[in-house]
Every structure is written in structure tokens, then in C-alpha cells.
Amino acid sequence: MQFKVFGLIIPLLLALLGYSQSGFLPYSIKNGLTQNAVTTIFRDSKGLVWMGTQDGLNRFDGLSFKQYKHNPTDSSSLSDQYITAISEDGSGTIWVGTRNGLNKLDLNKGKFERIHPDPSKKKVIQYVFDQIYPIGNGNLAIVVEGQLFIWEHRSKYFKKLTGNVDNHACYTANAKGIWKYSKGQFYLYHPSTGKLLEIFDTHQNNQQPFVATALYHDQNQAIWVVNETNESKPTIQVFDTKKFRWLKDSIVLNEKINQISFDQKNIAWVSSLSGIIKIDSTFKPFFWKSSQLPLSLNQSNAVLCTYHDTFGLSWIGFANNGALLYNPASSSFQLFQPENKRETVFAYAQDSLGNDWVASISGLYKKTAITQQTKLIVRKKVRALAVGENGRIWAAIENEGLYKIDPSSAPELVASVQNKKLVDNTIFHLNINQKSNQLFIATKSGLIILNLINNQIVRYYAEASLVNNQITGSYVLHSFTDSKGRTWVSTNAGIDVFDQNGIRIIHYKTDSDQSPYIKRTIITGCAEDKRGNIWIATLSNGIYKWDNGKFTSYNQSNGLSGNIVSGIMADSYNRIWVATTSGMNLLNQQSGRIDVITEQNGVPASDYLLASIAKNNKGHILLGSSEGLVMINPNTVWPIPIQLKCFVTDAAINYSPVSITKHFQLDADDKSISLEISAPCFINADKVVYQYRCLGIVDQWVTLQPNNRRISFTNLPYKKLQLEFRAAENIALMKFGSISTLYISREPPIWQNSFFIIPASILLLLGIVFFIRFLTKRKIQEQLRKAAVEQGIYKERERISRDLHDHLGAYAAAIKSNIIQLEKMDSNSSETMYQLKGNAEDMVSALRETIWVMQYQQISMTSLSDRFKNLINRIAPNYPSIQIDVKEEIIQEKMMSPGVSIHLLRMMQEALTNSLKHAQCTQIFIKIAINDPILVVIEDNGIGFDMKKSSDGYGLQNMQDRASEAGLDAKIISELGKGTRISFRF
């Protein structure tokens, strides 16, 4: 937000004993500048500010700097690090003059092209381009070592100014054309053709030739000539190009002149070794130094350049202190500090005699209207003031009570706890209803109304037993009397309105979230506008407008900088000034626009005290703060609505920088794109709000986080997308924001491209038609062959299975039968027979399992688990002292080949047998989890064994061999005295 300032501010109220002034923003290497020696400054058509230094170029958008430096190994970088001039042509191209060459910047690519207006100078080691300035129609005049070239931006070529090279010539341009001064004569050239139009001999004006080092033109088209005939005392001559005469005798300066610029008021700013010298229409130079300026301007630091943009902002480049932004609107705001130091001011009042009173933490001060002198009246903390008749002032002194101060007498205590006229000596605010001669005293224990005629008091508070003495809250913060004589009392729980007789006629409670008018909050003050509307300030809900019982709310969603409001006041233009904890706000009722005014606009403080806002008879608004008394002249504060234009300043695809374009093309393999957007704003830049939406993906506007201006997408769909983005000074103004548009396309893989798919599909179909017959025939033949082989294998397995059953099985069964008969015949050999019987049973069992496995091409883990459980059921009764627990989890069935199945079953049997026979355990836990992968765990609580020593008796090596052959993962964990755990995973 920028401001238009009309005229010089009228001296405000007090003879300032000491004050400071905001409105200056410093920038240095700490903020991102390449160097603190700023040689030239320029603001382009997009609003970006360019700062040249002795070590590179800087682009600034209000929040961050982008640096451009000379790189000897990169021909697309600046030709030299020392920047001498910056300008822009009609195509939006940035031109940069350096100590050694001219450069043209491609903003989209971020690369420079080195330009040689005179090709013969291409290999010159040092070739200084002194000036670049616009001359109309988008063309530029470029001055290099006494020679001027014209750049035609439409035809893209240089035109050399007619005439010989003159190393003593100086140039400038105004509405009439290009001017050259040399040897006492002015030469006027046509700005387009470069042809000489006229010659003006200054000898005719009795002006002797002198050594001119620079020309500058002001807003009246006059030319200011820097005369350095005497280098120790340079002078300035001013030539009127309208009447072709010298305007004034020499303006003598005792300072080296680095540059001259002219602000919107046509005041000359002379950059010198000792700071800035200003020259107004009287041609009297004066140094711009005072206590209100930053130290960098007051300490005689060398200034190399100044620049004034079209928004009224002034930029200052120092030789060693970086750059300084000055907002001229700051002249509308002043700060009074009674004792020349930071001090809390609680109240201001202007008495009926025109004297100004300031209540502060150090005392009560008075500035008399006649002598304009300020003096201390009371050396005590004064919290509130009210104006009576005949110069009388009512003052609330901290912890003492209410005092009356007449012009010719000492302060007199009127009401306090001691004389029983007050319940509490803490007074927040005083207000006099002039029509009823009533003094309203706001305290933390209720409202006191003092009748100024008979000195009678009436107390009102929330807990009063009499209804007539009740108010919404006992903590009273403020009171205000409107044009109808009604007094509006602000409390911690609502608003109470009294008529001239001290009778409460209206009240609104604000102590509940269900309140119909104002939700739960504390009322901090009221004010009246020129239409009779009452404006209400709150401590959490922003402000409200009361129009004969109708409430209208304004808060952060409407553009307020914050909802905590400490004071409110209407100015003579019917605008509403709203003091919040996050800055001053100005509501224009006619347009509905709310502008935020902060320290960057020149307001010298941002924290305002409750009930401290006031207005004097000149219409100036005054507020108490912890810094001092803030004084505002509303007559000179006119915010200019600015529609911020947003554009892309940086782009990256897959985190690699790419050129900026209106249509970004992503390949199929490109996963991400990131864009940084900017809407240059230099006052309250950190409060600018950015939004974007990508139609088809994010159709609703997305608000970026504060100080974040980067938009990023990953894995975009394969299509063309429209990205829109915008910016505004606050969220309420976003709907009026200018929308910028660009496109992002992501190309699908070639096999998803329609230009490829259609012909490829046709060719593929033709190929399939011819190939399918061949493949089908071959496939059928192959399937028949495989089927025959598989059938043969299956038959062979059946044959082996039958043979095992018919022969080996029969023999094993016979052996078993014979052993039983022998056992009956010979009881002496029962032990041997028992072992032979067991071996025969094992043989039969093993044969059955082998036959079972060979009968199938695939075996499910569930059937294998069932077979293992059957085995457990058969052998468990033989070990009554061992408890066997089996837990089976079937999550996902899995099929196995016969070879893997028999190996797994054998290893499970081996592990179970080891636990039963050798572990000396009392409990065996078996877990079979059927999933992908399969997990089998067999764990006992036996004696365990030392895994570091070989133990061949347990068949462990056999398990490992089987696991390796079957492709299973077998793990054995055991420790002496802690049991054994064996797991198989497949």
C-alpha cells in the first residue's frame, strides 16, 4: 500500500522536545545484497527494484534479493561486477551497464547477453557505460565514454548519435529530446533519429564555458548542469529548456556530487560524500539531517545515488551502508516523547483555551497555545484526562484519585477512596458530557458519574442491588458522549447507554457466545461518525457499526490487521481509524476498503494503549503508546489502492532450474515442478497474501503460508493444466486481485500418445492377425507335447507308488507280522522284538508318507499341517509327562511341490522327535502360520545344548541339509538350561 501526501504536514500540537520518525527500511548484505556499496537503483515495469553495487546486480521484490554476479568462466553472466547503470526498454528487457561492457538480461532464462554497440570496442579491457535512460517509445539512450547510442527496441538495432566522439560531453533527455552539453553549448537531438535539431550558445547569456561532468533534468524540463571547473567546490547551473536561458546563478556546494535526482515534488536530491543535500524551488541547498532520520543519514555517510519510483517511494544508495527505502507518507505521523526518550503516554487532551495536555508515566505536561512552550505540571503518573470549561482539566493520578486543575491554581483533589467518593483510585478513562455537566469516571470497580454542578456522585456496577444502578459489567474501560447527548459506556461485559439525566436507556450484553448482537468479548471503546453511526471497538471480535440498533461486523476477514482493538475514532472525512495490536487500520466507508498502516508506512509505534485515542480541534488523531504520543494528520493520509500483479520469478522441474515461460512442458519422466511467484510490494511486503489454484486438480483457491511464495506439484496427470495465482494486501482484497495464468502440460509416455497409439494399434493388429495363427499352431503343439510328457511322468509316479505299496509295503507289513509272531513265541527276546517292531512301523509310516506325497503334483500347506497333527496325536500318548500345544494360523493358503513338502514334513518330524526324546522337556509349543511366507516354529523348555559344540546325535545337520536342498530357511536357537527353538520359513 502506498500513500499520496498532499503538502507539508502542519506542525502538530506540541513543540516537540524530542521525537523520532519511522518510514525508513534499511537493506544491506544482511538482507541479501551482494555488497553495501550501492551505485545505481532502478524500478522496472513489473515493480521489481534493481540495485547495482560494486560487486554485482541485485533484484528485489520486497521480501528477498536475487543476486547476479560476474563469472569469468561463464559468458552468460555479467561482463563485469561493477554496475554503473540500469534501465528497461519497451520490451521489458533489463539493460545493465558496467565498468567493462553492456549487458542485456533475459529474465525468463536468468542469463545475460553481452552487447557491443561499437564492435570495434569489443576487446577493450575497460569500457565504462555511464548512463542508460529511456527516451520514449520504449527506446533507450546509452552513454559510453562520451558517445551516445540509441537502442531501437522494436527494430533491435543501435543508432549512433551524429557527431564526433567528445570525451567532455554530457547527456540527458527530456520531453524535447536528447540534450548534450559541450564547451559552453547545448545540442538538441531528435530522440528517434538522433539527428541534430538545434544548437544553443550559452555565451549569449553571459555564461562562460565550464567543465560539465553530468546533466540531469527535473520535472519542469529544466536541465541541471554539474560544474566541476573547481573540483573542490562544484556548482550547479540550471538551464530552462523552455525559455532557453539560465535560471539562477550558480548553486555552490562544497561537496563532491555523485548524482542528482528529483522527487514527485520536484525537490532535487543531491548525492554527496556527506549525505543528501536537498534543493527546493528557492535553489537554497540544505543537508537532509535531523533527529527524525536514521543514523545512516545523520552520520555524514557518502551517498552514491538516489531514485524515486512512480509510487512516491524514494530509494537511497550508500557507499558503505547498503540501501535505504524512504516512505514520504511518514511525514503524516509524528511521535512526541515528553522527556526525549521512550515513554508510555496514557492520554491526550486539548483544553478550551487551545492548550495541549499529555498524560504520561513520568507526569502531566502542558504546552501553552500562546508561548508554544511545554512544561511539567505534575510529576506523577497520570492515567486519564478530560476537558472542562474555562481551561479546566480533570486528571486521574495513579493511586490517588481524581484531580481538578484550573489555569491559575494548583491541582485539587476532588474524588478519591479517602473522601469516599470513589470505591477505587484506579481510573481508566474520563469523559465529560457537556450538555448535562456530568463527568463519567471509568474505574475497575464500576462507573462513577459526578455532577459537576452539585458535586453529587452516583455509582453504577454490575452487582448493584438497585436495578437503576446496574450496568453490564463492573470493569469500565471507556465512555463516550455522542452528538445527541447520549453517553456510551464500555465495560468488560457489554455496552450501557445513558441519557442526559443519567438514566440507562439501552444496554447490550457481550458476556455470552449466544449474545444476539455482539458475541462474547470486552468492549474497549466507542466513537461516532458524521452520519451518527456508533462504532464499537472490542478486545477480540474486531469492530462493529451500530446504526439505530442494527449491527455490522468488521474483522480480519474484512481486512482488519487484527481483532484486538484498543481504540477507534472517525476523522473529518468520515473514515474510521482503528488501532489494533498489529497496526493502525483505516476504514474508508465509501469504498468499504480497509488499509493497514504500520511502522513501514511511517507510524512510529504499533502498540496502542486502551482508551488512549483522542482528537484535537484540527482533526488530528492522537494515541497513547509505549513509545510516546503518536500524532496522525488524517488530512495528508490517502492510501492509494494498488492492484498487485503476480508473476513467476523462479521455476524448477525435478528440482533443476528451468526458463520461465507461459507454458511449462513436462516430459513423462518429470515428477515435480516448483514455481516461485511474486507481487512486488515494498511497504508491508510481509503481509501480502498469495493464493493459487490448478483447475482440474485444485479448483478452490489455496492460500500460501505467510512469507511462502512457492507453488509445488508432484506426479501431475498426463494432460494440460491451467494454473492461476493472485496476490493482495490482505485476504479481504483478494477478490479484487488480478489473476495471472499459465499452463503446465505433462506429456504421456510415447506408448500413451494418441499419435503413436493409433498407427501402432493398426500395425499391431495386422501383425497379430498374421502371427496369431503361427503362435496358435505352435502353442497347441507345444501344449500337446508337454501334456504327453506330464502324463508320462504322472503314470510313472503312479507306477512307482503302486510298486512301493505292493512290494516294499507288503514286505514291510510281513516283517512286522513275523516279528509279532516271534515276540509271542520267545518272550526272552521281547526287548529286541519291540525295537524291530518299532522300526517296521516307522518304515511303514515313511512309505505311506512317500506314497502320499508322490500321488500329487502340488500339496497344500494345510494338508501337510493336518498330517503332522495326526502324527502328534499318535505319538503324544507315549509321552504323558510332556504337554504338546499346537497353534495353527491360516491366513493365505500356499501350495508346495512334493519335494519341498516331504523335506518340510521330515524336518518337522525330526524337530518334534528330538524334543520328545532328548530335550528332557515338560512342554512343547508348535506354531504353524500358513501365509506368504510359511512359518513353522517348534519350541521346547528342555535342557537345551551348547550350539558352539557339535551335536551329531540330534540330527541337526540333517535338518540343515534338507533345508538347503528344499530352499527353506531353517534357524536353530538353543542355550544350556533354556530350551531349544527351531523355525522353518518358506
DSSP calls for 302-334: -EEEEEE-TTS-EEEEESSS-EEEE-GGGGGEE
- The single-letter DSSP state of residue 70 is B
Does 949 score more than 80 pLDDT? no
- Model confidence over 954-964: pLDDT tens digits? 567 788 888 88
**Lowest-confidence region among 694-703, 728-737, 813-822, 916-925:** 813-822
Percent of the chain whose predicted confidence (pLDDT) is above 70: 88
Beta 56-60 vs 65-68: how paired, if at all?
antiparallel
- pLDDT tens digit string along 36-85? 999 999 999 999 999 999 999 999 999 999 999 999 999 999 999 999 99
Please say whether the beta carbons of 677 and 690 come within 8 A.
yes
Beta-carbon count within 10 A of 557 CB: 12
Nearest to 320 by CA among 49, 130, 683, 55: 55
The pLDDT of residue 267 is: 96
Q: Beta-carbon neighbour count of residue 739 at 10 Å? A: 13
What percent of the chain has pLDDT above 90? 59
- State the average pLDDT over residues 108-129: 90
More confident residue, 17 or 754: 754
Lowest mean pLDDT among 319-323, 432-436, 532-536, 596-600: 596-600
Residue-level pLDDT at 751: 72
| pLDDT given at position 968 | 87
Band of pLDDT at residue 8, cut at 50, 70 and 90: very low
* Predicted pLDDT of residue 967: 85
The pLDDT assigned to 219 comes to 93
pLDDT of residue 103: 97
Q: How confident is the model at residue 465 (pLDDT cuts 50, 70, 90)?
A: very high
277 φψ region: left (φ > 0), alpha (ψ -120 to 50), beta (else):
beta
Topology of the domain comprising 647-748: Immunoglobulin-like (2.60.40)
Q: Which residues contact 513 (CB under 8 A, 6 or more apart)?
A: 519, 520
Nearest alpha-carbon partner for 390 in 406, 374, 401: 406
Residue 834: the pLDDT is 61
- 565-570 and 576-580: which strand pairing? antiparallel
Superfamily in which the 859-986 domain is placed by CATH: Histidine kinase-like ATPase, C-terminal domain (3.30.565.10)
Q: Where are the domains of the chain?
A: 647-748, 750-855, 859-986
Grid cell of 319 as nine digits? 557507499
Predicted pLDDT at 770: 77
| Chain centroid offset of residue 969 CA | 55
Q: Mean of the per-residue pLDDT values for the chain? A: 87
For residue 706, the 8-state DSSP code is T
Residue 267 class from Cβ within 10 Å (0-12 exposed, 13-18 middle, 19+ buried)?
middle
575 has pLDDT over 70: yes
pLDDT higher than threshold 70 for residue 797: no
pLDDT score for 656: 94
Please write the tens of the pLDDT for every residue from 86-109. 999 999 999 999 999 999 999 999
Range from 219-228, 391-400, 733-742, 860-869 carrying the lowest mean pLDDT:
860-869
Average pLDDT for 152-180: 85
What integer pLDDT is reported at residue 207 of this predicted model? 62
At 21, the pLDDT band (50, 70, 90 cuts) reads very low
Number of C-beta neighbours around residue 912 at 10 A: 21
Residues with Cβ within 8 Å of 831's Cβ and at least 6 positions away in sequence, in order, are: none
The pLDDT tens digits of the residues spanning 845-897 come to 666 666 666 667 788 888 888 888 888 888 888 888 999 999 988 888 888 88
- Residue that the C-alpha cell 471503546 belongs to: 525
Whether residue 736 is predicted with pLDDT greater than 60 in this model: the reply is: yes
Q: Of the given ranges (492-496, 535-539, 923-927), which has the lowest mean pLDDT?
A: 923-927
Of the pLDDT bands very low, low, confident and very high (cuts 50, 70, 90), residue 15 is very low
Q: How far apart are CA 335 and CA 629, in angstroms?
A: 5
Task: Give the residue among 392, 360, 396 at the shortest CA–CA distance from 379.
Answer: 360
| Contacts with 475 (C-beta within 8 Å, 6 or more apart), sequence order | 444, 491, 492, 493, 522
Tell me how crowded residue 891 is: count the other CB atoms within 10 A of its CB.
Answer: 9
Q: State the pLDDT at residue 19.
A: 35
Q: What is the pLDDT of residue 204?
A: 58
Q: Kindly state the average pLDDT of the residues 565-592.
A: 95
Between 410 and 847, name the one with better pLDDT. Answer: 410
Q: Say what the pLDDT of residue 600 is.
A: 87
- The answer to whether the 647-748 and 859-986 domains have the same CATH topology is no
Find the range with the poorest average confidence among 480-489, 556-565, 595-604.
595-604
What pLDDT does 952 receive? 53
Helical (H) or strand (E) element with 346: strand 345-350
User: Is residue 509's pLDDT more than 60?
Assistant: yes
- Full-prediction pTM beyond 0.75? no
Q: Which residues pair with 595 in a beta bridge?
A: 586
Lowest mean pLDDT among 2-6, 479-483, 620-624, 821-825: 2-6
In this structure, the number of other CB atoms found within 10 A of the CB of residue 970 comes to 21
Q: Which range is least confidently modeled, 16-25, 288-297, 364-373, 383-392?
A: 16-25
